[in-house]
Structure 1
Amino acid sequence: MSFVNIRRFVATLSVVILSPTSALCADQSELSELDYLNDIPVTFSATRLPQTLSDAPVSITIIDQRMIEASSATTIPELFRLVPGMQSYHIATNASAVAYHGMSDKFPPRMEVMVNGQSIYLPLFSTVSWETLPITIADVERIEVIRGTNTVTQGSNAFLGAINIITHTPLSERADFIRYTQGEFDTQNVQAEHNQKTAYGHYRVATGVLSNDGYDFTYDAQDPYFKRYFSFESTLSPTLLDTISIDLGYSEGYSSVGDIKPSPGWGFKRREFDTNSQHLTWSHLLSNSDELKLSYAHAVNNLSARLLTATEASQLTGLPVNIAQEFLDTNAPLLITAETGKIEQHDVEITLQQHPSYDSKVITGIAFRAEKAKNRQLLGTNEWVSEESSRIFTNWEYSGFTDWTLNTGALLEHVSGSGTRLSPRIAANYQLSPLSTFRTSLSRAYRMPSLLEANFENIIYVPAPYTGAFGEVYEYDFLVNQELSAERLDSIDLGVMINWPEIHSQLDTRIFYEEIKGGITPSYQFLDPAMLSSAPYDPDQLYRTFMNRAHWSNQGIELQYKYQSEGDLKPLFVFNYGYIDSNGYRNDGNQNRSATDVFDRLETRNPMHTASLLASITLPDNLQLSMSHYYLSSVRWQEAVKDTDPPNAPYHRTDLKISKGFRLSPQNELSIALIVQNLLDKPYSEFYAENMFEQRTYLQAQLSF
């Protein structure tokens, strides 16, 4: 679909959608004010200002509590299958990745992920480690997903989109509970939550132990998982004008890193994790509803694995065991996986929200982030590698024009070693009627190189006894590119949102065009450019490095329709669809020691179609029936080798959930749920060809008191 055709489609879509809307407006006198205001969620994620979905400058998907309870998801990443244009996939039994608009491997790098507004993005891997988080799906109140760039609000990590996971607040007076889940892979999960109101405020404590044996692979191997976690949230109000929030989290355990094919004789690469985080926020109300907010966050992630043995190094390199041991000693420490390391992050942010007039509100802020990481195999040193960044941002909403709401904003970001970039956005929402809104926005965004991309270096050194004959370096595997710069995104968004309060429905349609220039990608290079014109090639002269050698565009359409009623049977119906057409290339450099660059076309690196459907009803006696269906078209993930690895085949998957509640007393309730994923038992592969998803069944019991 060309961009010209998309513009034609906008015109056609306006006629088709707005015609019935006009008819609705003719009868709007029959609707009350409550019809317009009922169930209109307010979000802060788009601009940090309180906004309804119709006033926000971007498309937003909200996965609310009813959707979470009705879904068959057992982990947080599985919920994102309910977002148009988003892909959620397993890279191992207990390791997941979430991407928006594809172009991803097992480390999707272009989407910010936050918990209660605080980033959980790991700079050492340019992604999120979902299995290590100190929260589970039982802790989630709702999730707000920004579909489209939101760099202007959350910084360069939000290059293509952003996720904000909002946990249950201590103020919600939620019942205490104990939950037990048993099922596939000998899953044994125990979780508990306690909420308490005190004279000083409210607090919530959640804890749990999760474990399973992992998948039984054909080569007699499994990838087990274990996690214990603890989280604490508290809200204090020492005065009528001040609020203090405290979020603490801790988790520890182990899982495999996602390498589906284990190395011969030594099984999966098990990685242990130990994480802790602290997030403190102070809010102070000023005059005229203005608000000053100060927040500080600190997080530590320790990811470790055992050392590589001489026998294993000998298997990998073909060297005799004694020489392999000398290589290990010279390049120590070498672990069985490079996906380890120590990461520490500090974030400080100050924001001021103001209301200059009744039809205007603005937020300004300044933020500073300091992060450091330690990993010999990825950063080329046993010392800490640090990076600092600072941001100044502002977002302004103005609704003084008749039927128009304007949103403008800009973020100035500076990253040590990567320079300074300005990311602006301008958006206008036109209220076609009290029930429908047309939205358009223009954005330019930059994604700064992550700590890993800016500092990735891996050099294998020769043991001292052999340096005379071979030199000091055995292999330049990966070298730092001092000229690496930021990726750039230019995007255009058009959208139509329609509410039908009399039938409890809402439709949100988004049409987009995105162009990414200077995309960061690994590329093969020669240490000496003269090697390009000489033969034979010296393999020691060939290395990889990150370069700005990818360029592609995305264009397409996304829509989400939601029907939700509190009437008889409490029906819920959600349909999502995303179409994306990608065009472009990445330059792999002098791959396979060739004399010319190799260009990888990117048309197949995105799934062209994604779709999901969730339907739920509640029968008498508190019996709830839910069914989900997911579809993903063919895709060749970034890790697939060009022209040799076949693309992942398209798949359909249907899930079923049946739950029943039993009122034991006015204060106590027991609920039982049966979850069957892939109900029709048609196995399909996710990400790796060997990673088969077959039918999975879970039984869940929860006692609330």
Structure 2
Amino acid sequence: MIRPWNSLSRSLLLIALVAMGVSASWADDERAYFSELPVVASVSRLPQRIADAPTAVTVIDRELIKASGARDLSDVFRLVPGFQTFPNNTEAAQVTYHGMSDGEYSPRLQVLVDGRSLHSPLFSNGINWATIPVALEDIERIEVVRGTNAVSYGSNAFLGVVNIITVDPALAQGFSISTGYGSQNVRDYALRAGGRIGDVGDFRFTYKQQNDDGLTNRWDWVDSFRSRLFDFRSDFSLSDRDSLQFSIGQIEGVTQRGRLNTTTWQQKPEDPIRDMRQTDAYVQFLWRRVLSPTSDLQLRYSYVVDRSSDEFSIPFAGRIYRVNQSGDEGARHELEIQNSLKLIDTSRLVWGASWRTDSMRSDWTLPGQGAVQRDLARIFGNLEWKPSHWFTGNAGISGENDSMAGFHMAPRVSGNFHLSPENTIRTGFSRAYRTGSILGYRGDWWTVSGGLPKYQFAGNPNMPPERMDTWEIGYLGDWRESRMSLDVRVFNETIHDRLLSIDQNIANNLIPDTIMPVQKVWIRGFEYQYKWQPFESTRIVLNQAFADIGSSYLQSALANPNNSLGNAAKSAAIREQTEYSMPHRSTSLLVMQKLHWNLDFSVAGYWQDRMKWSTNSWSPKYRRFDARLAYLFRWSGLGGEVAYTIQSLNGAHSEYKWNDEPSDRVVDRRQWISLRLDF
């Protein structure tokens, strides 16, 4: 059982309650916290009130991002019920919703920046959180769809969607510089400039670099992280009906890989300490045309290229072998067209189509295959029907034809019953598919194990997609007079043919691992988000998730007694990882308080039960508290902010532990002072 109310917790609560009693007003130009329920477009691709959306949505605005004290984007999602994350270390940070985090990256969660998917063919068709090409300061809001949304965004939106919407350049005029300096070698610098482009456009340019020493080094590894980001966006009004958005940028992230020999504390020749360099570069064009007062057309093209290298050399059998397990390059071209229109007074429709081609090359994991290409064509549609003030219906369907995975369709239907203006009941069913990565279908590589060659992995060209059926019921309460809202989601998610990498013969190093359907998994539980503004100067956000995960092995996976599942210990480890891939209980609490003298104070608390990230890594039960105090100032045209942020103020704990090593990736107290000047 979680026991959040220890002495430190009571002290923090007392601080928050005292702060609530301080009389302070929001700035005149800020929106009231509950002036109206947010309008979101990430669920059905139609702008809708949250009360009309077919599934649950959490909106994280700029104020919440700042108040959280987050320095990395992955940290922000601690404020979303059902989400888990761990920091960048020798492994790239992960963000998952409802677990299923069997790989290094997050292949079951779709992440978008201004409509562009961040899924990469290079990183196992997942998200590399070390190279997210957006600065926190440039985020206007994040819409998090808590539930499958393959209907709107394809197979990677298997468990949910994170849609990051950046600041309009017209709202980022002027010049701003900022820096952060603190413990664990935190050294951050940023520069942002914005202005007009003639009479028809605006631009925003951001440069940002981050440096730190990573998590505390207490075992056989070395950690550090640094990144460099360049990001440019410009918006043009071409006519009274046409607009164009152009974006281009690049981010480089560098983490540490390798191990030390725990006897000599020297580098292991077969796995030396080395830099892993990863880059993400992109360009995007987005054209919009208003066809009529009730219809518009949108055309988007994006090109993204990811590169990675942790190259080193090892001697073997009198020869020197070049090893580059993370390289080399993945690229994606995507073209999408979308049309939204009002059919009649009671219904709206959005439909569209997209074409995508992915390619990947790697001398290590795809030897001799050159650039392996994958093509995907997709069509989608969502219909909203509001025949009465008390009912909103949503129906959608999409079809994908994948050159590697074949054709599949994903439907969704839901009904929202508005019992009153303040109370809504939501019910729905959806089906989603998730396809494997290029490596999953075509990978082929060897390694060295115990001084002997090992055929490490061979792709499965006949690998089927995973399928998930979701039933959910939700409740949304919007009590504006009391400035409170409550969003509850009860879910039953069943994953058929869960894909996992399995050793086909644990006794024979010449028979490779492969990916195959292994389990049926069911995830059941409920989660809620509660918001309250008891005073003009105080905001509270409380999130909790409760879940149980069960699984059973497929008979087809058990047919081979020599594979991993034929070994009792390995079979038990896989089952344990599945059923603990999400904590049974998790809680987050954020209190935001405006004080006198232009001071902002916030404190966040996180409580999480034990969970497993993979069969070899896990997170013990922990609690963590972060706090931030900021002073806003303006002197004769010069504005800015100075802030003090402290993370893990309650002391060291582990959020990512490898096997049963005596002391591993420790999240220790980290604190820094930041300064921003706006000209």
- For normalisation by structure 2, the TM-score amounts to 0.87
Deviations 1:104-151 (A, max 9, x none): 143222110111111001123232112223322122111110000000
Cα 1:515–1:219, aligned 2, differ >3 Å: closer, same or farther?
Answer: closer
Cα 1:657–1:93, aligned 2, differ >3 Å: closer, same or farther?
Answer: farther
The answer to whether the 8 Å contact 2:394/2:415 transfers is yes
Q: Is 1:670 aligned to 2:640, yes or no?
A: yes
Q: Is 1:438 aligned to 2:438, yes or no?
A: no
Give the corresponding residue for 1:236.
236
Give the corresponding residue for 2:43.
46
Give the corresponding residue for 2:18.
none
Give the corresponding residue for 2:543.
576
Of residues 495, 510, 517, the one that matches 1:548 is 517
The answer to whether the 8 Å contact 2:217/2:666 transfers is no
| TM superposition shift of 1:213 | 3.2
Quick one: which amino acid aligns to residue 106 of structure 2?
P
SS of equivalent to 1:452:
helix
Give the corresponding residue for 1:514.
493
The answer to whether the 8 Å contact 2:174/2:195 transfers is no
Give the corresponding residue for 1:246.
246
Q: Report 1:417-496 matches (<5 A).
A: 417-459=404-446, 475-496=454-475
| TM superposition shift of 1:69 | 1.7
| TM superposition shift of 1:592 | 6.3
Distance 1:592 1:324 in 2: 33
Cα 1:175–1:62, aligned 2, differ >3 Å: closer, same or farther?
Answer: farther
Give the corresponding residue for 1:189.
188
Q: Report 1:272-283 matches (<5 A).
A: 272-283=277-288
Distance 2:485 2:285 in 1: 36
Unaligned runs of 5+ in 2: 1-30
Distance 2:468 2:357 in 1: 25
SS of equivalent to 1:240:
coil
Structure of greater Rg: 1
SS of equivalent to 1:145:
strand
Distance 2:173 2:39 in 1: 21
Quick one: which amino acid aligns to residue 671 of structure 1?
E
The answer to whether the 8 Å contact 1:423/1:446 transfers is yes
| TM superposition shift of 1:669 | 1.4
The answer to whether the 8 Å contact 2:97/2:159 transfers is yes
| TM superposition shift of 1:97 | 0.7
Quick one: which amino acid aligns to residue 426 of structure 2?
R
Distance 2:205 2:170 in 1: 13
SS of equivalent to 1:503:
coil
SS of equivalent to 1:156:
coil
Q: Relative to structure 2, which stretch is displaced further, 588-597 or 492-501?
A: 588-597
Q: Relative to structure 2, which stretch is displaced further, 226-235 or 130-139?
A: 130-139
SS of equivalent to 1:126:
coil
Cα 1:595–1:259, aligned 2, differ >3 Å: closer, same or farther?
Answer: closer
Cα 1:509–1:219, aligned 2, differ >3 Å: closer, same or farther?
Answer: closer
Distance 1:75 1:595 in 2: 40
Distance 1:36 1:180 in 2: 29
The answer to whether the 8 Å contact 1:286/1:292 transfers is yes
Structure with the higher strand share, 1 or 2: 2
Of residues 302, 305, 310, the one that matches 2:307 is 302
SS of equivalent to 1:54:
helix
Give the corresponding residue for 2:68.
71
The answer to whether the 8 Å contact 2:457/2:513 transfers is yes
The answer to whether the 8 Å contact 1:663/1:669 transfers is yes
Give the corresponding residue for 2:526.
557
| TM superposition shift of 1:671 | 1.1
Cα 1:244–1:377, aligned 2, differ >3 Å: closer, same or farther?
Answer: same
Distance 2:378 2:259 in 1: 37
SS of equivalent to 2:581:
coil
The answer to whether the 8 Å contact 1:92/1:258 transfers is no
| TM superposition shift of 1:304 | 1.4
Q: Report 1:403-418 matches (<5 A).
A: 403-418=390-405
Quick one: which amino acid aligns to residue 130 of structure 2?
E
Count of residue pairs the alignment pairs up: 626
Give the corresponding residue for 1:681.
651
Of residues 110, 114, 117, the one that matches 1:116 is 114
Deviations 1:672-692 (A, max 9, x none): 111111111142342436111
Distance 1:576 1:36 in 2: 17
Distance 1:518 1:68 in 2: 37
Distance 2:258 2:456 in 1: 22
Deviations 1:590-631 (A, max 9, x none): 346968994632323321111100001111111111100001
Give the corresponding residue for 2:158.
159
| TM superposition shift of 1:456 | 2.2
Q: Is 1:325 aligned to 2:319, yes or no?
A: yes
The answer to whether the 8 Å contact 1:377/1:458 transfers is yes
The answer to whether the 8 Å contact 1:259/1:269 transfers is no
SS of equivalent to 2:319:
helix
The answer to whether the 8 Å contact 2:630/2:643 transfers is yes
Unaligned runs of 5+ in 1: 1-33, 315-322, 462-472, 527-536
Quick one: which amino acid aligns to residue 531 of structure 2?
K
- In percent, how many aligned pairs have the same letter? 29
| TM superposition shift of 1:162 | 0.7
Deviations 1:249-294 (A, max 9, x none): 1123422259799953665342112331011011111123200111
- For normalisation by structure 1, the TM-score amounts to 0.84
Cα 1:174–1:77, aligned 2, differ >3 Å: closer, same or farther?
Answer: farther
Give the corresponding residue for 2:627.
656
Deviations 1:303-351 (A, max 9, x none): 11223232xxx5xxxxxxxx1526x2xxxx422xx12220110000011
| TM superposition shift of 1:563 | 1.9
| TM superposition shift of 1:190 | 0.6
The answer to whether the 8 Å contact 2:131/2:278 transfers is yes
Distance 1:699 1:128 in 2: 30
Deviations 1:66-90 (A, max 9, x none): 1112111111100000000000112
Q: Relative to structure 2, which stretch is displaced further, 211-220 or 585-594?
A: 585-594
Give the corresponding residue for 1:469.
none
Q: Relative to structure 2, which stretch is displaced further, 60-69 or 267-276?
A: 267-276
